[in-house]
Chain A
Amino acid sequence: MSTLIQLEIMRTLRNKRYLLFSLLYPGLLYVFFINAYGGGSVAGGTPAKSYFMVSMATFGAVGAVLSNSAQRISLERKSGWVRQLRLTALPGRAYTAAKIASCAVTTLPAIAVVFGIGAAEGVRLSAARWLGLGLALWLGSFVFAALGVALGYAAAPDSVQPIVMITYMLMAVFGGTWFPVSGSLENFARFDPVYLYNRLAGFTQPGHSLDTTAVGGLAGFLVVFVAAAAYLYRKDTKQA
């Protein structure tokens, strides 16, 4: 199984779309936001450079994970690669396991690029906080990997791209990726996994600890997405 995982990771890192949309794009957007806010703060008082460092890191991570899992699974179901793999001695779960493993690896550069820019732009955190934040965002990305697997088995190959884009953008808009969510919108946003994902970074602000509500919410989403992915995977295997 490790051979398949290695191959999956290598091909993803080699993919130009990944470099462009998951690394370059969030990085450039981050630079743009820092300049647009000119060293000021977003609503709520968080410095823009800290706020957008987190929101762009999660934006890149979610994008990397969704395209890596949902889009590929859907396309590879159609191309027949999934069937071909079923003719090898690998267990059936190897394919999904390799996808999730490669997701886990590909989110790290997406997070690191934005963190690097943030540090260069003057975001100051203790070493433990940098590490803790990176770890929190990395672990959080597994929720979206599960969502991606579910979407990959649910969506037809010709519609998977718009479905992923719409899901991604809606979650981003209500999740605080572009602007902090406040007021009545927050009642809505509480059911948005990206909103909860961004909240994981709250502990890096002075006087805050880890947002356990967000952790609990994300854990709930993880359970739902994993269950959906497992169900859809089984259904697909019977039909292939």
Chain B
Amino acid sequence: MGRMSTVTAGPRADEEVAAFRNVSKSYGPVRAVNGLDLVLRPGETVALLGPNGAGKSSSLDLLLGLRDPDQGSVSLFGGTPRAAVETGRVGAMLQSGGLMGDVKVRELVKFACDVHPRGHRPAAVMADAGITEFADRRVDRLSGGQEQRVRFALAIAGANDLIVLDEPTTGMDVSVRRQFWATMRAQADAGRTVLFATHYLEEADSIADRVLVLHRGRLIADGTSAEIKAKAGARRITFELHPADPYVEETALRTLPGTVSLDVTGRSDGVRTVRIRSTDADAGVAALYRAGFHPHGLEVTSLGLEQAFLTITGEQDAADDFADQEGAR
């Protein structure tokens, strides 16, 4: 993996790698990107999350200059996206990026290295992308996972400062995926900025140091994975209330500090199971006892990023629906 550690000029720490300023883009009646404001800093590994149709691919297209925004501006390294591509500062692996047919993997990688203004040696690129073993196979005769790795090789064919990946691990099996992220980490450790869109939330959780959540073309969350989880009410408090204990009104549960949502289910024997999602589990539990509850089997668990993500997008949907209804009145 160390073969790629070619010394590059690299961006300064205060430089903007990429910036979206109030960017909007519509396709017919569909607003794919809606007022996006965003700055990427050097060395960050950033995950872009969002359900299908959230505007992830559209945002990446705008970032790379494949499309122009209807409104606002996109810059890469302080210039236009095209200038960044021409100077070899950005490499990308798109979901929609195809490969040339009728050529060998080796020939295609050599081509990518040759046309890159700061191209690496093809052998090193193939080793880093883990494709050396099938270098002599024809590109049109690869499996989906192999094809993905060849695309990745094209994205790292030169000394890029920013690497953009759209759902890079689609079609890869688990071991290949692990190897892929190890390579990716090496790229990030070499000081490169990495932006990747994914729908595997555990990838975002374990690899990214910043997570962006995109929903209906808008950026609805931006922070570390821990911050995103906290925003969603990242802990779940579960316990039972038994009928033998002194009775306390359920409404008191709603006023516990940090409570995001409350769910109480009763059984025929009078035992009630309470599930609380909370942004502040410590204060919530302390207040629970102060209010006179006698919780049994108390458990505090942390939510995964996946649930945090569903919560945030769900809340946004509810807010949008509410706004729509208000608007209709």
Given the contacts A79-B98, A83-B98, A87-B97, A7 and B87 also touching, CB distance less than 8 Å: no
Which residue from B64, B90, B96, B115 sits with its C-beta under 8 Å from A90? Answer: B115
Which residue from B66, B90, B103 sits with its C-beta under 8 Å from A86? Answer: B66
Mask for B74-114, Cβ within 8 A of A = 1, else 0? 00000000000111101110101111111100011001101
- Flag whether B229 is at the interface (Cβ < 8 A): no
- Flag whether A80 is at the interface (Cβ < 8 A): yes
Main secondary structure of the interface of B (DSSP, over half): loop
CB-based contact B88/A89 at 8 Å: yes
Sorting the interface of chain A by its residue count into under 10, 10 to 19, 20 to 34 or 35 or more gives 20 to 34
- Flag whether B35 is at the interface (Cβ < 8 A): no
Please report which residues of chain B, range 105-144, place their CB below 8 angstroms from some CB of chain A when the two chains form the complex: 107-108, 111-112, 114-117
CB distance from B58 to the nearest CB of A (A): 13
- Flag whether A3 is at the interface (Cβ < 8 A): yes
- Flag whether A128 is at the interface (Cβ < 8 A): no
CB-based contact B102/A76 at 8 Å: no
- Flag whether B237 is at the interface (Cβ < 8 A): no
Please report which residues of chain A, range 1-43, place their CB below 8 angstroms from some CB of chain B when the two chains form the complex: 3-4, 7, 10-12, 14-15
- Flag whether B33 is at the interface (Cβ < 8 A): no
Given the contacts A7-B107, A11-B101, A87 and B96 also touching, CB distance less than 8 Å: no
CB distance from B167 to the nearest CB of A (A): 13
- Flag whether B154 is at the interface (Cβ < 8 A): yes
CB-based contact B98/A84 at 8 Å: yes
Given the contacts A11-B102, A79-B98, A89-B87, A84 and B154 also touching, CB distance less than 8 Å: yes
Total interface residues on B, using CB and 8 Å? 30
CB-based contact B98/A76 at 8 Å: yes
- Flag whether A187 is at the interface (Cβ < 8 A): no
CB-based contact B92/A3 at 8 Å: no
Mask for A82-120, Cβ within 8 A of B = 1, else 0? 111011111000000000000000000000000000000
CB distance from B149 to the nearest CB of A (A): 15
CB-based contact B103/A7 at 8 Å: yes
CB-based contact B97/A84 at 8 Å: yes
- Flag whether A240 is at the interface (Cβ < 8 A): yes
Q: Which residue of B lies closest to A13 (CB)?
A: B102
Q: Which residue of B lies closest to A90 (CB)?
A: B115
CB distance from A90 to the nearest CB of B (A): 5
Pick the 7 closest A-B CB pairs, nearest first. Answer: A79-B98, A80-B98, A11-B102, A81-B98, A84-B97, A80-B96, A3-B114
Interface residues of A (CB under 8 A from B): 3-4, 7, 10-12, 14-15, 76, 78-84, 86-90, 238, 240
Can you report 6 A-B residue pairs in the complex whose CB atoms are below 8 A from each other?
A4-B115, A14-B102, A80-B98, A84-B99, A89-B86, A89-B88
